[in-house]
Each structure stands twice: as C-alpha cells, then as structure tokens.
Chain A
Amino acid sequence: MATPVLTSTDALRDAVSTPAALRRFLHGLPGVDQVGCEARVATLSSRSIKTTSKQWALDLAISMIDLTTLEGQDTLGKVRALCAKGRRPDPADPTCPPVAAICVYPDMVVTAKEGLDGSGVQVASVATAFPSGRATLDIKLQDTRAAVADGADEIDMVIDRGAFLSGSYQQVFDEIVAVKQACGRPGGDSAHLKVIMETGELATYDNVRRASWLSMLAGADFIKTSTGKVQPAATMPVTLIMLEAVRDFREATGRMVGVKPAGGISTAKDAIKYLVMVNETAGDDWLDPHWFRFGASRLLNDLLMQRTKMTTGRYSGPDYFTLD
C-alpha cells in the first residue's frame, strides 16, 4: 500500500525510528512510471524561452554554477585560475554575475578559499572518498573534517551505493548523519551538505526517489545527482524526480532542500530546460542559487557565449571566452 507523500512530520519521525521502519517508508513511496516521467520531461523541454526571459535565465544559470575541477592533474595554478574565472566569468562585461561556487578536491580548499576571498563565491569541496566512496567511515569523516577545517563552505559527499543497492538503507542513513555532524564548525554553524546519490549507479527511477527521501531525512541540505565520473551523469528525468521529492518533502516538513544536477550539462539550451523544469515542478522558490545549482565545467562558456549573443546580436568565437 502506498504511503501518501503529503504526510505528517510525525510519520517521518516514525520512518527513521528503526531500520525496518525506514525500509517500509522508502518502499512505500509512490513508484515512478518511466515512460510517463520521460514524456513529462519531453513536454517541458519543448518550452520556448526567448528574448527577455532567455536573458534572465542565462544570468540565473551562471549564478547557479558550481564551477568544477575534479581531476588528478589539478594544480594550485589551475584552481587559482578557476577562482578568477568564477569571480568574473566575463572579464569584458562587469554586469555578468559571478558563479555560485568553485568545487574542488579537499586538498585544494585552502587555495580556492584564498582565490575567492571577499567575492562571495563559495568554496565547495568533495569529500568522503569521492568519487567511489569506498573507504571506511572514519576516513570519510576525517576527509570531511579536514575540508571544513580548511574553510570549505559546502561539502559534496557521496553515498555508499553498494549499501543502498543491497538494501542497507540504515547504513546509508547513518553515514549521512555522521558526515552532517562532521560538517559542524567550532562556532556551532555548519558547512552545507550536498549528498551525491550517483543516480547513474542507482539505475532505476524508483531508487532515485528512495535515495532522495533517504538523504533528505538524514539531513541533506542539497541532493545532487552525480559525481560526474560515472555515465550517465545528470539527466532531466532523474532531476525531475528529485525536484518532485524536494517539493513533497517541503510539503511534509516545511524544510526546503536544494537540488544539484551535475555532469553532462554543457549547453545553455540544456541549462534553460532545467530551469523550466525547476519552475514548473518545484516552483519559483527554487529558482535561486541557494536552492538550485548546476555542477559543471564546460557549461559556463556556452552560457557566456549566448549571453554575449543576446546583448550584441552576434555570435563570437570560442577564443573570446577564457578557458578557465
């Protein structure tokens, strides 16, 4: 029997009381019909966003980017360059907004923090043995604490997909709770926690819905699709299900959770489709960098190119936009 999603806070408290209750709750969530979900995405993708609304959407999308570099070959120089780009994406146009955050590995947090000083751009650090998450809990927690201590404003953790797929929901839940605690700072506040579900490994839409609720119940500030290291990364149907989840979660608890699709979104056209989907699914409260982010590296330059086209009426070549 399906559990109505518009449920009470009490029911949610019960849901996390025992491992069996958690399992019952997650399996009682309404299923997702794959065909219907993808059809809805196709309809939303057919929206035509032109002129003033396109201009507005392009700027919003830029301000929602977590500009990312997560490579083994990352250097201090690379991160510094990325910070400069994030602060001022279009050096030729001061009206261009900065991005939301720079997303790096934990050992780059200090450098990123320096590079972004005074800009308002956040530093996000991946943690918990990103991207696989295959390490012991104490190492994951230490990874997190180190990044927070170095000044990370946001932590992007990965869930234990192996535990999730084998049905050990409580283990995944407890781990998120522990990482959330590790995000705490001495002053009592805490780094924002984004929970990466790696939807490409969860395989089914039903699993995406369950993982979304599991993460939110465990205290996630954001739910995020992917590490970017697994294909498929972010897709529109998966993001639609997550948007439905945060919408329903707010109905049930009053608490808002952010959504971050990451990986594979590389064109302005796609970014605008996502914003339309946010608008018509979760609603305009989520049309804000506090509640919706794009994890991307290539996307920014296409947004800038489209933005320049809107203001000048001409397309310019890729050489007019900085590499990082």
Chain B
Amino acid sequence: MSFEYAPAPESRAVVDLKSSYGLFVDGEFVDGNGHAFKSVSPATEEVLAEISEATEDDVDKAVAAARRAYTRTWSTMPGAERAKYLYRIARIIQERSRELAVLESLDNGKPIRESRDVDIPLVAAYFFYYAGWADKLEYAMPGSAPRGSVPLPLGVAGQVIPWNFPLLMLSWKIAPALAAGNTVVLKPAETTSLTALLFAEICQQADLPPGVVNIVTGAGETGRALVGHPDVDKVAFTGSTEVGKAIGRTVAGTRKSVTLELGGKAANIVFDDAPIDQAVEGIVNGIFFNQGHVCCAGSRLLVQESVYDDVLARLKRRMASLRVGDPLDKNTDVGAINSSEQLSRIRDLSQVGEAEGAERWSPPCELPDRGFWFAPTIFTGVTQAHRIAREEIFGPVLSILTFRTPAEAVEKANNTPYGLSAGVWTDKGSRILWMASQLRAGVVWANTFNRFDPTSPFGGYKESGYGREGGRHGLEAYLAK
C-alpha cells in the first residue's frame, strides 16, 4: 500500500496582491521614477505585480526623509519609546504571519512549511529581541561609553538585502538599527520586494513615525545609489561576495561604517561516531533547506571514510522521500529556484562538476513544467580541486568529500576563501570543542545545522564578510564606538 498525500494547498486568499507597487518614502507609498519591473512567482512564472524602480533621485529623497526622521524624532526619542514601536511591529507580524508567509512563498518560491515555521516566526523573534535592547543600550557594549551615558546611534543606515530570506534579512537589518536609534533606507532584492512592501504597510499600521523606515525597490543601480549616497552613515549588505567587494571599494575612504555578510561554502563534517540518522537529517537540512539558497548552507559534506558507504546509502534513501513541488502545498519540502538566472548558474556549475569527473546523482522526482526547478542533487567523488567544491553554487547541490582524521577534516574545511559556517557531527563533546576552535568559520553548529536564533551572533571570516548580526554583537554595528 502506498500513502499518497493529497494536495494540501495553503490558500492565497489571505494575500491582497495589488497590480503595482511603489516605494515607501517618508511614511507614504510613492511612485518611483525609474522603469517599472515585474515580480514573478518562480514556481509558475506568473507575474505577481509591477514594482517601481527607484532612481538616484528617489533614493536621495528616501535618504533625506530618513535624515529628517533621525534628527527630529527617532534619535532623540527615549529607548523605551522606540521599544514600544518595535514590540508593536513584532506583534503585528505575528498577527499577520499567515499573510506574510503566503506572500513570501509566492514571491520567493520557498515552501510554505519553511516560511510558516521558520522565516516568519524568526522575523517576529528578531523584532521582539531587539525591542528589548532599545532601552538597555548602555549594557550592550560595556565600557565603550562613559559610565551612565548611552551609546549613540550612527545615523542613517543604507541596507541592501538578498532574495533568499527576504523578510528575515529585512528583520536582521531593520530591528537592530531601529533599536539603536538609527533610521533606515532598505533596498530589497529585485526579485523579492513584496514582503518588504507589506512590511512597510505594517510600519504604517504601527504608527511608526514617517521616515524611520524607507523602502526603495530596484536592482543593482538602485543599490549603488543607496550605498554611494553621501548622507548615508552606515552600510549593511547581505549578498554575494562579488557585490560585497564592490561595496567595500565604494565606501573605502569614506566615514561610512560597513557590515558585510557574504557567501559561503560551508563544510558539514560527519565523524564515524556521529548520531547517524540525525546526521543524515542535518545533511539534508544543511543543503536542501530553502533550495540551498542559504549563504551558510552546508554545501560541502566531509564524511569520515570509515562510514562513507553507510552515510551515502542513508542520504540517498532520505533524499528519495523529499517532496519537490508547489511551494504553497503544505507538504512540499523543496520549492522553486528563485529566478531563471539563478537556475542557469546552478545548471552551469553542475555541468562543470560532471565535466570535471564527479559523479552526479538525484532521486527520481518529477519537476513541474513551468517555473524554475532543480532536483536535489549530490556529487560524489569530489575533491578539493573541483570547482563545485570551491565555488558557491547557491542551490540544492551537495559536494561530497571524505577525510581520514580530525586534522584532515579541519584542513579541508578551512581550505576555502569563505568562512561563514560549519557543522560538526560527533558523539564526543571534547572533539566538538576542539573542532570549533580550529574551524575558521563564524558559526559552528554541533550536531545540528541551519539553526538561527536572535540571541546568537552570525557573520563570517575571510571573504564571507565582516561584522556580526544578531545578539548583543549585532547592536555594535549600529552604535558609535
């Protein structure tokens, strides 16, 4: 007998999609002066809405609004008052969580299970967490300001976020910035602007003073205008290492402070004494969560040779039970690739993997005809010299390597220009601690992977960026030293 799960689609009715969206500047929705662009559902290629592109002029207005709000209201408001707004926003996010989750899945292609159970609850959690800090800033960086005085905000923050966790990345940027007393101009990614614009509506609903949060939509040009704007005091970016480097060059020599959270090629390291069934879950969660569109994805699996066959067999069996398809179906595990550009990149690099001699495997799975899809894929026989072991693929593609000793695992894990995250699977506590001290990665997960929490700092070594987001450390990036 086989257990077929009947379609269990989450209703779209909860989302009120407009045909076109403008920018959010100074508390109001306004039309941008650039060309309108389309936001499509990656699962069906259906056009969801047209969105205004912000020109340099629009960005200028948004920064001016943020400056006014900073000077006149937000930076002088007592922290406890700012906290009330943040708590209110957090509560509205919880109240409207279903709407936000459905819209996120529609626009981004991620499964509703993830947007409902991971993204949106975390978004609310980040706002709640930083709301709590707003009136306690003197304890955020002990010793940095004279006793009894409150550390000062930086001013206007220009923030550019990626398309993989649209609303979650917004919360990582906006919540600490606002708690510390800064105002923000945020640019969402051009393929996933819709939840940021719904967030703007939530700001209105929460009676947030105009200009404290401004959203400018658009692609690279808009981002450049924002990052390069002379009246921006602080630049925060999450995205590719390539763009991060360009931003680094733009702001070099200016007074702007910068945090960059860039790419990764994380090693997920499985020792022979690992809790094997949970390790296999962790491998799957590490690379197939959010279609592998995760900067800290465990895209390089390092397995101790003595358990390689066993782990591989279990991994393949587990992958065969992954359900790929309609992101709005509540039983979907792996959704759609966010854009055709990203899909081409994943395809290209996978072909390179085959051409370089690695063995490619995917479970049998039917992909929809329309939309952007890529089956969960693993490569075996991969070595450090393969491009698929070195370059960030940012898709559901896992490169599997082996090691013999802990020292070799560390050496291979660190042999990358990136250093965002790593995972260690072993029953031995002392080995976890030793590995964590050796790995050059901002986050080291032990017997788990891709777990996030507002109290925990997150950020990279080497070309994965600098600065930390989350936790007390995340506030430092928005306070004057």
Contacts and interface: CB of A to CB of B under 8 A. Distances in A.
A46 B275 contact: no
Contacts of A51: 6
A31 B275 contact: yes
B404 to A, nearest CB: 14
Given A6-B313, A48-B8, A280-B321, A32 B278 contact: yes
Contact of A275 (B3, B4, B279, B306): B3
Interface stretch (A35-43, A69-77, A262-270, A315-323): A35-43
A51 B5 CA distance: 9
A35 B2 contact: no
A100 to B, nearest CB: 14
Interface of B: 1-8, 113, 117, 272-279, 281-282, 306-307, 309-310, 313, 321, 330-331, 427, 447-448
Interface string A279-290: 110001001100
A287 B1 contact: yes
Contact of A50 (B8, B282, B321, B427): B8
Given A5-B310, A48-B8, A36 B275 contact: yes
Nearest to B272: A2
A33 B277 CA distance: 9
Nearest to B281: A40
Nearest to B275: A33
Contacts of B309: 4, 6
Contacts of A287: 1-3
A92 interface: no
Given A5-B310, A6-B310, A35 B276 contact: no
Contacts of A37: 277-278
B278 A52 contact: no
27 contacts: A1-B272, A2-B274, A2-B307, A6-B309, A31-B274, A32-B278, A33-B278, A33-B447, A36-B275, A36-B447, A37-B278, A40-B277, A46-B117, A47-B331, A48-B5, A48-B330, A49-B6, A52-B4, A52-B6, A53-B4, A53-B5, A53-B6, A56-B4, A57-B3, A275-B3, A279-B3, A288-B1
Contacts of B282: 36
A43 to B, nearest CB: 8
A52 B6 CA distance: 6
A36 B3 contact: no
Contacts of B275: 30-33, 36
A5 B281 CA distance: 17
Interface of A: 1-2, 4-6, 30-33, 35-37, 39-40, 46-54, 56-57, 60, 244, 275-276, 279-280, 284, 287-288
Nearest to B449: A36
Nearest to A275: B3
Nearest to A51: B6
Contacts of B273: 1-2, 30-31
B331 A39 contact: no
A7 to B, nearest CB: 9
Contacts of B331: 47-48
B8 A49 contact: yes
Contacts of B3: 53, 56-57, 275-276, 279, 284, 287
Contacts of B279: 36
CB-based closest 6 A-B pairs: A36-B278, A48-B8, A48-B330, A33-B275, A30-B276, A33-B278
Contacts of B448: 35-36, 39
A2 B275 CA distance: 9
Contacts of B321: 280
A40 B278 contact: yes
B28 to A, nearest CB: 39
B5 A47 contact: yes
Contacts of B5: 47-49, 53
Contacts of A56: 3-4
B281 A31 contact: no
A33 B449 CA distance: 13
Contacts of B2: 284, 287
Which of A33, A46, A52, A276: most chain B CB closer than 10 A? A33
Contact of B276 (A5, A46, A54): A5
Contacts of B274: 2, 30-31
A163 to B, nearest CB: 25
Which of B1, B117, B274, B279: most chain A CB closer than 10 A? B1
Nearest to A280: B321
B447 A35 contact: yes
Nearest to B322: A280
Given A1-B306, A52-B6, 19 more contacts: A1-B273, A2-B274, A2-B276, A4-B307, A30-B273, A30-B276, A31-B273, A32-B275, A36-B282, A46-B113, A48-B5, A49-B5, A49-B8, A50-B7, A56-B3, A284-B1, A284-B2, A284-B3, A287-B2
Nearest to B311: A4
Contacts of A279: 3
B119 to A, nearest CB: 14
Contacts of B272: 1-2
A2 B426 CA distance: 11
A306 to B, nearest CB: 15
A287 B1 CA distance: 6
Nearest to A6: B310
Contacts of A31: 273-275, 427
Contact of B277 (A1, A47, A244, A280): A244
A35 B281 CA distance: 12
A247 B273 CA distance: 20
A274 to B, nearest CB: 12
A47 B321 CA distance: 13
A244 B279 CA distance: 14
B115 to A, nearest CB: 13
Contact of B1 (A2, A4, A60, A244): A60
